[in-house]
Chains A and B, each alone.
Chain A
Amino acid sequence: MSFQEGIALLIVGVAAGFIFRKFYLQYLALPLSNFFLRKGKVALAMRVRASAKKSGCSDDCSCD
């Protein structure tokens, strides 16, 4: 693998991570938290929910 290719793939990795995180915070975190809550794992649910709130993002166009 060339030096250029290494850097390029690194950038791709960062971008993929960014998109996954965004998708998780926006669409997965809250349902996941509710799922834990139903399972009775309150502490875990609160942690997941806190991370979802941190994104500070609603679905409105102003934030993605």
Chain B
Amino acid sequence: MSDIHFSPRLALAGNPNCGKTALFNSLTGGRQKVGNYPGVTVEKKEGIILRDDGVVVRILDLPGTYSLDAKTPDEMIARDVLMGKVEGEDRPDVILAVADANSLERNLGLVLEMKALGYPIVLALNMMDLAHERGAEIDLTVLSSELGIPVFPTVAIKKEGVATLLTQAIEAAKGNPGQNPVSIEWHPPTIKEVQDRFKRVDEILLASVKKSARPLIWSEKLDRIVLHPVWGSVILVTVLAVVFQAIFIWATAPADLIKDGIEALGNFVGSAMGPGPLNSLLVDGVIKGVGSVLVFLPQILLLFFFLLLLEDTGYMARAAFLMDRVMGKVGLHGRAFIPLLSSFACAIPGIMATRTIENKRDRLTTILVAPLMTCSARLPVYSLLIAAFIPNSSVWGPIRLQGLVMLLLYFGGAAAALGMAWIFKRTLLKGAKPPLMLELPTYKIPSWRSILYGLRERAWIFIRRAGTVILAITIILWFVASYPKAPEGASEPPIHYSYAGRVGHAIEPVLKPLGFDWRIGIAFIPGFAAREVMISALATVYSIEGKDDEATAGALTDVLKSQWSVATALSLMVWYILACQCLSTLAVTRRETNSWRWPAFMLAYMTVLAYGASFITYSVARMMGLG
């Protein structure tokens, strides 16, 4: 057989928290394609390895699962891929099973279950370094012969043993090139079968493990504080506060750098060519518009950095444990905490993450309130408004008012989400409280490499978005804000006579009670495609308008400071917390719920909520003399 055409397909399978993703990153060096399985929104990660010997290996990273007895859509995909039941997905040639060497008692159950499917299997005994540190002595030869499959020790995050593992997996595939049966039927096991499976695990471990790993003392000690009824809550609040302070403070220097660069570029382009429509398009539209969004790259990367860090260290599951009671109070599952927390990044992965919730009503409730959590696209808007209207004075020591307001806005979103969940669970979606079952993994030193890969991916997505959708919308906005041109001898700035100006003026009466003028109205419309476009839209509108007007020609924060009242700014902040200004969220809700009813309901309730709350905010602020 010629090796050139030999391209085995490996499926990486294992329990959650066994270091599967780290192993995947180690194997593929981060060269991976992230997509979705057809028809469902479970994330599909595939990597390709080009080996020196010419063999091309394709690796599929299956979602982590405790057993083939799947409960959630994620677990079902893992099972269905192995059964050869996923459309357009060939059955793998070899299963690369991953088990945490520190937790074999639990991890081997799945290995036995997969072995029964009849695949060639190679087992990676991961996190071996930690197992050694904890004093574990495992006889790999005995383990291998008892299990009946080859076993290799690995330390994925240090790339130890990974090359050998890959070679062995390829060897195993060679003995079995695409010879697997097309489809395997699967039946849920009986209680007895599950019990027997684990009995067998115990027998295997009795024979092969001479000394089991000592408990990880520092992890347990840490838990005594982190999960402490009182200190645990204090720590949770502190962690969240530190994250939001850091997002605001650390991002300042790089953001200023980007801002200066964009300004210099704008000045250069503006003076390099004669004045005219193209000049205006490039400077007012493209550079000002896209630049005003790019400035927020550092903040978004910081947010994702912290989210990845919390996930990687194992703190996220603890937060879900601590929050279960609070979530339970409003009728939600502790697991709903994780989708809601990922909604801080973006409501869409958040809504997709609800697939780990088994109960349908619970899932719907979580989907409906997820967009109230402050997503990263809102961060630029908040930052801009805070920078313009909130003084950066010290409140108490190093805690500054700006960071505090940011935290408050995030809390506002979370409170709104919980409040609405409470209402939904009592009216539309009544139901019993579903069970909670959650593993709290031992703490881990985070793998900087995985975090780096994650951040690189996020940065790339953000820049690509700015360079495509946001760029295109900004260009179109420039057009509708510049045409038709003002008539001869017009008294108002040209934008008044443009299409955008007319639309803005037309919807102004509706927005007036909230303190928003026609310019904000203009910015709302493209903001529906992507929230952060609101900023580039404002930048473009003011930039075009300000051509002959000194007051509106400066940096956007200065412009807003001179043009808006504090009441308007506060009202807009509240609007942004609550309004459902995101087409993609509605689309993903449509797909996840399989009906137009729920996205329509979502849009309606959020708009009513936002309008009401903004109106109250504006009125109260004006009464307090901030108008």
Which residues from chain A sit less than 8 Å from chain B, CB to CB? Answer: 2, 4-5, 7-9, 11-12, 15-16, 18-19, 22, 26-27, 56, 58-64
Contact = CB atoms under 8 A, between A and B. Distances in A.
B588 A64 contact: no
B624 to A, nearest CB: 38
A60 B348 contact: yes
B278 A5 contact: yes
Given A2-B276, A8-B280, A64-B469, 9 more contacts: A4-B276, A4-B278, A5-B278, A11-B281, A18-B468, A59-B587, A60-B352, A61-B348, A61-B584
Given A56-B35, A61-B348, A64-B465, A8 B277 contact: yes
B472 interface: yes
A45 to B, nearest CB: 17
B18 interface: no
Contact of A58 (B36, B465, B468): B36
Contacts of A26: 587
22 contacts: A2-B276, A2-B277, A4-B277, A4-B278, A4-B279, A5-B276, A5-B278, A9-B277, A11-B281, A12-B281, A12-B478, A15-B476, A16-B472, A19-B473, A26-B587, A56-B35, A59-B587, A60-B41, A60-B348, A61-B345, A61-B346, A64-B584
A12 B481 CA distance: 12
A16 B588 CA distance: 24
Contacts of B449: none
Interface string B473-512: 1011011000000000000000000000000000000000
B606 interface: no
A59 B591 contact: yes
Interface string B239-283: 000000000000000000000000000000000011011111100
A26 B584 CA distance: 9
B34 A62 contact: yes
B349 interface: yes
Contact of B281 (A8, A18, A58, A61): A8
Contacts of A4: 273-274, 276-279
Contacts of B461: 61-63
Nearest to A56: B35
B127 interface: no
Interface in B319-348: 345-346, 348
Nearest to A5: B277
A64 to B, nearest CB: 5
A53 B349 CA distance: 20
Contacts of B469: 19, 22, 64
Contacts of A60: 36, 41, 348-349, 352, 588
B471 interface: yes
A59 B348 contact: yes
A9 to B, nearest CB: 8
Contacts of B278: 4-5, 7-8
Contacts of B457: 62
B349 A15 contact: no
Contacts of A19: 469, 472-473, 476
Contacts of B280: 8
B106 to A, nearest CB: 31
B34 to A, nearest CB: 6
A16 B476 contact: yes
A27 B278 CA distance: 32
A26 B586 CA distance: 12
B471 to A, nearest CB: 7
Contacts of A64: 465, 468-469, 530, 584
B354 to A, nearest CB: 13
Nearest to A19: B472
A12 B526 CA distance: 15
A35 to B, nearest CB: 15
Contacts of B346: 61
Nearest to B590: A59
B584 A15 contact: no
Interface string B268-308: 00000110111111000000000000000000000000000
A56 B588 CA distance: 15
A63 B281 CA distance: 26
Contacts of B530: 64
Interface in B174-203: none
A27 B475 contact: no
Contacts of B274: 4
